[in-house]
A and B are shown apart, each in its own frame.
Chain A
Amino acid sequence: MGRSKGDLVIFVSKRLIQLVAVLFGVVTITFFFTHVAIPNPCYVWSGPRATQATIQQCIDKNDLDKPLFDQYVLYLGKLLSGDWSTSPRGVPVLPTILAAFPETLELVLAALFLMVAVGIPLGVIAANNSGRWSDHLVRTFYLSGWATPTYLGGVVLSIAIGPLVGLPHSGNFGSIPSFPEPFHMSVIDALVSLNFPAVVDAIAHLILPATALAFINLGIATRMTRGSMLEVLPMDYVKTARIKGLSDFWVLYKHALRNSLISTVTVLGITAGSLLSTSVVIEEIFQWPGVGRYAFESIVKYNFNGTIGVVIFFAVGVVVANLIADILYGLLDPRVDWR
Chain B
Amino acid sequence: MRRGSRGLYRVLRANPLTLVGFALVVLLTLTAVALVIVPPISAAFGHPMSLTPYDPNALLPCPTVGNQSFCAQPPSLEHFFGTDRAGRDVFSRVLTALPLDLAIGFLIAGFALLTGGGLGLIAGFWDRPGTIGAAVSLTIMRITDVFLAFPSLVLALAIAASLGRGTIPSIIAILLTWWPYYVRLTRGEVLAVKHQPYVTAARAAGVAEWRILFRHVLRNIAEPLVVYFTMDVGTVLVVFSTISFIGIGVPPNVPEWGNMIQAYSDYLLIFPWVVAFPGLAIFVTVLAFSLLGDGLRDILDPRSRRALSQAETTTRAPAAAATAAGASG
Contacts and interface: CB of A to CB of B under 8 A. Distances in A.
A327 B146 CA distance: 19
B266 A159 contact: yes
Nearest to B285: A147
A329 B161 contact: no
Nearest to B312: A234
B242 A325 contact: no
Given A136-B16, A152-B279, A307 B151 contact: no
Contacts of B16: 136
Interface in A288-322: 295-296, 299-300, 302, 304, 307-308, 310-311, 314-315, 317-319, 322
Nearest to A38: B162
Nearest to B14: A131
B150 A315 contact: yes
Interface stretch (A55-63, A115-123, A184-192, A259-267): A259-267
Interface residues of B, number: 67
A325 B157 contact: no
Given A308-B158, A318-B151, A281 B246 contact: yes
Nearest to B164: A37
A235 B265 CA distance: 50
A311 B266 contact: no
Nearest to B311: A234
A139 B149 contact: no
A86 interface: no
Interface string B5-37: 000000000001100000000000000000000
Interface stretch (A21-29, A64-72, A87-95): A21-29
Nearest to B160: A299
A231 B320 contact: yes
Interface in B226-280: 234, 238, 241-242, 245-248, 258, 261-262, 265-266, 268-269, 272, 275, 279
Interface string A205-226: 0000000000000000001000
B145 A18 contact: yes
Given A143-B287, A300-B247, A270 B158 contact: no
B161 A300 contact: yes
Contact of A277 (B152, B248, B324, B328): B152
Interface residues of A, number: 77
Contacts of B287: 143-144, 146-147
Contact of B313 (A235, A270, A277): A235
Contacts of A322: 149, 328
B143 interface: yes
B104 interface: no
5 contacts: A131-B308, A159-B268, A235-B314, A263-B320, A270-B328
Given A159-B265, A314-B154, 20 more contacts: A21-B145, A29-B147, A33-B159, A146-B286, A146-B287, A147-B284, A149-B242, A149-B282, A152-B279, A160-B272, A234-B311, A234-B312, A263-B323, A263-B324, A274-B152, A284-B246, A296-B246, A322-B328, A326-B328, A335-B321
Interface of A: 18, 21-23, 25-26, 29-30, 33-34, 37-38, 130-131, 136, 139-140, 143-144, 146-152, 155-156, 159-160, 163, 223, 227-228, 230-232, 234-236, 259, 262-263, 266-267, 269-270, 273-274, 276-278, 280-281, 284, 295-296, 299-300, 302, 304, 307-308, 310-311, 314-315, 317-319, 322, 325-326, 329, 333, 335-336
